[in-house]
């Protein structure tokens, strides 16, 4: 009975793959496992990737998990030793300086949930720093790579792709970073788009894992490089706002909104999503993991449209942005009153 069940499962998996993408004549998958059918184009198996000297190997994914742990430690040390001192130097009030006498009733209960401005500054500073590192690292390791500008080369000779140590380290570092983001997301400042951001982290971790697992790293590197650029300007804009600068937050936010639109709404579909639908079928019978990759890319794009809607609201109501600093804040009125108190202290 167990053997019959296994045969049925294998038959259903093979039939599904043929029904979705593969030509009726490519029956070379009959002797392959379900994992081979899901990940590799017919008639290849997972052993093919293991035999590539410089190809991605499954066991290397553990390095991303190991990198996530020191990144968590680096976050704590950076926020306490670097970001805190930088915030004080820039004029961000310390938590003790930020406290006030308790207010009665509902107002007092609401005040207890307010996150100190210094804490928000520290979080923004860490993200600004680490995104700057990944952008510079990505530009260095991707410089001169032919598939960066030619979308057709992303799938040429797939899955017979090999990578140097720099590309692998960059990829695994980004995967470890987003694993750490997924863990700290529940402890950092909570905002209105809490669940959307959590979903974004899940999508990104799944995308990086499956693309490394199935050797579609070329499309993954393009995704990472396009994503991180705008985040640098977003976090630096928040830092400038928390430091109560006058015009710098607005300038940085305009740069962020422009780079977000260009990289995520124009370049991301052109270099990442469209090639996954138009180029990949020309070079191989599409395995299941590539179809899963398409779904994740479309999910990320929907989140991009959601966040760009927030950006447009901030552009249409700049006064509210100057008071909040981030349209995703979970306690808008508190931030407004905090900003007023900070201005009064500076005047005194």
Confidence of residue 61 (pLDDT cuts 50, 70, 90): confident
pLDDT of residue 337: 38
Q: Determine if the pTM surpasses 0.85.
A: no
Of 96, 87, 172, the C-alpha closest to 137 is 172
Tell me which residue has tokens 């500008």.
149
Q: Which residue has the higher pLDDT, 276 or 135?
A: 135
Confidence of residue 37 (pLDDT cuts 50, 70, 90): low
- Residues 300-314: what's their mean pLDDT? 92
* Residue 163 CB-density burial (10 A; 0-12 exposed, 13-18 middle, 19+ buried): buried
pLDDT at 137 over 50: yes
> Lowest mean pLDDT: which of 12-16, 35-39, 156-160, 295-299?
12-16
DSSP secondary structure of 160-225: -----HHHHHHHHHHHHHHHHHHHHTTTS--BTTHHHHHHHHHHHHHHHHHHHHTT-HHHHHHHHH
pLDDT of residue 72: 94
Rg, Å, the chain Cα set: 24
Residue 232 CB neighbour total at 10 angstroms: 23
- 191 forms beta bridges with 329
Of 232, 219, 243, the C-alpha closest to 86 is 243
pLDDT of residue 85: 92
> What proportion of the chain, given as a percentage, has pLDDT over 70?
70
pLDDT of residue 163: 84
Of 204, 187, 197, 205, the C-alpha closest to 123 is 187
Confidence of residue 188 (pLDDT cuts 50, 70, 90): confident
pLDDT of residue 147: 86
> Lowest mean pLDDT: which of 129-133, 210-214, 224-228, 256-260?
210-214
- Residues 300-310: what's their mean pLDDT? 94
Mean of the per-residue pLDDT values of the chain: 77
Residue 167 CB neighbour total at 10 angstroms: 20
What is the CA angle 168-169-171, rounded to 5? 65
Distance of CA 216 to the CA centre of its chain: 17
Confidence of residue 340 (pLDDT cuts 50, 70, 90): very low
């Amino acid at each position: 009975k167990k053997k019959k069940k296994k045969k049925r499962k294998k038959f259903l998996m093979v039939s599904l793959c043929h029904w979705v993408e593969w030509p009726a004549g490519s029956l070379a998958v009959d002797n392959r496992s379900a994992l081979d059918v899901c990940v590799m184009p017919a008639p290849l198996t997972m052993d093919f990737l293991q035999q590539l000297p410089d190809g991605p190997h499954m066991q290397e994914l553990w390095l991303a998990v190991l990198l996530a742990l020191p990144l968590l430690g680096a976050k704590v040390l950076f926020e306490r030793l670097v970001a805190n001192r930088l915030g004080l130097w820039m004029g961000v009030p310390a938590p003790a300086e930020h406290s006030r006498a308790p207010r009665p009733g509902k107002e007092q209960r609401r005040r207890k949930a307010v996150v100190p401005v210094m804490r928000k500054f520290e979080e923004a500073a860490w993200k600004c720093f680490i995104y700057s590192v990944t952008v510079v690292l990505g530009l260095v390791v991707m410089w001169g790579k032919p598939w960066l500008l030619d979308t057709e080369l992303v799938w040429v000779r797939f899955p017979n792709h090999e990578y140097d140590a720099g590309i692998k380290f960059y990829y695994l570092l980004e995967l470890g970073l987003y694993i750490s983001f997924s863990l700290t997301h529940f402890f950092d400042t909570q905002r209105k788009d809490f669940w959307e951001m959590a979903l974004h982290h899940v999508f990104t971790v799944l995308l990086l894992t499956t693309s490394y697992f199935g050797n579609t790293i070329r499309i993954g590197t393009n995704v990472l490089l396009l994503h991180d650029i705008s985040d640098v300007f977003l976090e630096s804009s928040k830092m400038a706002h928390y430091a109560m600068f006058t015009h710098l937050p607005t300038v940085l936010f305009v740069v962020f909104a422009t780079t977000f639109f260009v990289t995520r709404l124009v370049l991301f579909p052109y270099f990442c999503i469209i090639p996954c639908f138009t180029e990949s079928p020309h070079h191989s019978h599409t395995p299941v993991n590539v179809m899963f990759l398409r779904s994740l890319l479309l999910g990320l794009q929907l989140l991009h449209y959601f966040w760009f809607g927030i950006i447009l609201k901030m552009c249409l109501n700049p006064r509210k942005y100057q008071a909040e600093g981030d349209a995703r804040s979970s306690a808008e009125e508190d931030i407004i009153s905090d900003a007023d108190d900070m201005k009064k202290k500076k005047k005194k």
